[in-house]
Amino acid sequence: PDSSIDLFEAVERLKQELNAVILAHYYQEPDIQDVADYIGDSLGLSQKAATTDADVIVFAGVHFMAETAKILNPEKQVLLPDLDAGCSLADTCPPDAFAAFKAAHPNHLVVSYINCSAAIKAMSDIICTSSNAVKLIQQIPAEQPIIFAPDRNLGRYVMAQTGRDMVLWQGSCIVHETFSEKKLVQLQMEYPTAEVIAHPECEEPVLQRAHFIGSTTALLNYAKQSQTQQFIVVTESGIIHQMQKQLPHKFFIPAPPMNQCACNECPHMRLNTLEKLHQAMIHRRPEIVLPEDVRQAALRPIQRMLEMS
């Protein structure tokens, strides 16, 4: 505990020295959440990145999130504590295969979930996140055909919510696919008054059991305003730290994964640690760099999202 107190102080000092801001996602380890200036979902984090006046953005999240911050801030330094913190969902959509998929569906508008690489963003018309996907799709004229990539579970959920047909890229997230409907039902029998709150990256049978579906921020806000005292949380378990911290009198139960080898912590998110974050601030690397032509092409659909949100 003493060494982590020293680290907290060291990170605070470096923040002043560098004029840095620490942006963290809810799936980061508790220590990182506790040192962050802002914790949010993908939309909140990109809105924060778009408006910060810091010189250095320390991004405690996965690569596509830090990359989005860099796309919005070419003149700022964007640090990622571990450059290997990728995303299994983003990895399901390689640029070459996606270019062929696009070519096979001419005249389609491409709406991509923010969980994708800059190269995929550069091939997209509009970016969305789990918190604005329904709202953005509703703004697209009904006769316009749409490709939705890369998450098929979010895509199917948006189709059900909007009544729109869309061509779906068949990607998914290893963490959200791991939840077991059977074990969820067993847990509901154990906690009959608990509300099930789930992220839309979960598969349909699990989502059908949910009382509320939303982005990480939306799940936290729902838990705040609900009269219920117990919640079964069907998403990466990191958010429970924030729920428990902000709602100490409520009770949060992580949903069980399918088998014992699976785990509801995102292995990519959890590559970042407070120690690595501290080192990144000292050495000012690993840093996100990307070619200017890709950055500019990826910026357009992100700006469109920010305007439409």
**Residue with smaller CB distance to ligand 13P, 68 or 115:** 115
173 is in an annotated binding site: yes
Q: How far apart are CA 46 and CA 306, in angstroms?
A: 9
115 touches ligand 13P (CB under 6 A): yes
* Residue 87 binds ligand SF4 (CB under 6 A): yes
Tokens 């963490």, located at residue:
175
Question: Residues 158 to 217: which contact ligand 13P by CB under 6 A?
Answer: 173, 199, 201, 215-216
Task: Determine if 213 is a binding residue for ligand SF4 (CB under 6 A).
Answer: no
Q: Residue 25, annotated ligand binder?
A: yes
Q: Indicate which of ligand 13P, ligand SF4, none lies near residue 268 (CB less than 5 to 8 Å, by partner kind).
A: ligand SF4
Q: CB 62 → ligand SF4: shortest distance, Å?
A: 5
Q: Does 130 bind ligand 13P (CB under 6 A)?
A: yes
Total residues found in the chain within this entry: 309
Q: Which residues, including other chains, have CB under 8 Å from residue 36's CB and lie 6 or more apart?
A: 22, 23, 24, 28, 60
Q: Would you say 54 or 201 has its CB closer to ligand SF4?
A: 201
Q: Does 116 bind ligand SF4 (CB under 6 A)?
A: no
Interface residues for ligand SF4 in 219-278 (CB under 6 A)? 236, 266, 268-269
| Closest CB 26 distance from ligand 13P, rounded Å | 6
HSE-CB at 114 with a 13 A cutoff on CA atoms is: 31
**Using rule CB under 6 A, residue 129 touches ligand 13P:** yes
For position 194 contacting ligand SF4 by CB under 6 A, the verdict is no
Q: Which helix (H) or strand (E) segment is 285 a member of?
A: none
Identify which of 161, 124, 166, 171 has the alpha carbon closest to the alpha carbon of residue 147.
166
Name the packing angle between helices 42-51 and 292-308 (round to 10°). 110
Angle, to 10 degrees, between the axis of helix 216-225 and the axis of helix 239-246? 30
Could you say which residues in the range 2-61 bind ligand SF4, by CB under 6 A? none
- Write the CB contacts of 276 (distance below 8 Å, at least 6 apart in sequence): 81, 82
Question: How far lies 31's CA from each of 48, 170, 191, 260, in Å?
Answer: 21, 35, 29, 26
**180 belongs to an annotated ligand binding site:** no
Q: Which residues bind ligand 13P (CB under 6 A)?
A: 41-42, 115, 129-130, 173, 199, 201, 215-216
Q: Which residues bind ligand SF4 (CB under 6 A)?
A: 62, 87-89, 115, 173-176, 201, 236, 266, 268-269
